[in-house]
Structure 1
């Protein structure tokens, strides 16, 4: 990172992610075992890449732990408006399917820090329009911090970094029109839910382990059990890349088990299906997935494609 910050990954196994106390203990253990002095917790909720939402009890526990250990709590809420989970579906338990412990997002800004006996000066929130509004190329975000004069003074230096005119012209009208912005958010949630369902059907069709997404733009799944090492995992990333598809490898997210990948589903359906077919080719699946769950061999697909080319 630009400020030479050393990141210490915190791995929370799925079994522990369902318990608020276990989540807090995972962060506590990581801080105690770190080889450097820990200054704070950088917490992404909704989670990237799992697409899960942290329960409120765990958030409160982490806030209180930060108070106890004299740490800052930095909440990255960049996917806050991209939640689409159905609470009723959490009761459905299937082998290899990892459900989110929560479907409703809770912002740190909604917590009563005084009641939790947590100093406001150590709690900070990051947000950006890049994910919720599909503007990844536009660098426009904000930091919400309270009762921290030293941080406020240091942030004043950033006044020299101006936003580009294009970003200002594009975003200002949207942020000024609340009804229109709400329509955009609602439409985004609807389309994300539809795309996520396709990704879920793909995982279930090929009997893959996966984290069922309830928020965000991704599905976290184990594409291949044949990836015995992270070198094998990287080889699969390269095969996908050669076919024009980018997938995030588990190694990039400190996943201890090879074979896990982050797949982005927040694209038009036709491109999503095309990308899934290319992934199937890269992995070596013998049958391909379609939205109607019909089974086709690659020979059939190639034959149909060739007929279309020849007219």
Structure 2
């Protein structure tokens, strides 16, 4: 057996629960459930761009899978299968063992089978393609928002950006909050259960990967609407408890990204149901604004009087 295939066999061939044929052939074979559409997404993580080179490999394995499952969560899909392509500068067996353990920890919790992939030599790059199932006609699309819908966000966006700033030595977070922010950066939790629960409550959704305002802009553009975010409604307190620099806190929440929380739009009639859902899941769901007519694709941040506030940074762009 060649070193490449031995590497794959040693670290990435595990028992599967839901695929007819996995690694070892030219293709995998899967059987989608009756009455479901396939949701398919690919995401790439590049060393030095998407993660720090010295990131703990076990946490990196988790994150490599989690960020793809977050895309499925944003569509309300149930994760089923993934492929993994690795570009490695060299073979480090201890690093690969830890990476694989983190990857499969995440796969086990979310019920996912690794069904194939590829390896090659090159700069450290990790690429996953994830397949999920969603009942036909039930997928949450960016284009599904309507005039008057409330805008909601799950959890606490902004923590990952503060964790990155701390890891880079740009600031020092308060000890009580530092571990939470670093964990948000290195071991995000894709909101798969929330995505499924939103099928009959929300019309549009996206995960917060590039920044809250930037990602909300994708919903606004796809739906042909103007998103208005109320500054006072945003979940500021937890971030202000972690960092005293107000400018840093504001940039982290509005433009930080990498949190993989869900940002979604729902009719006002769903308000009470969403509050009950928040309680039942022990997951904060915060109403932060509303969708308005006109200004298709625009996103505004307003104060308590409805006056627009300036925003210096809206999110991350890979090519800017």
What TM-score, normalized to structure 1? 0.27
Which of the two has higher C-alpha Rg? Answer: 1
What TM-score, normalized to structure 2? 0.26
Q: Which has a greater percent of helix?
A: 1
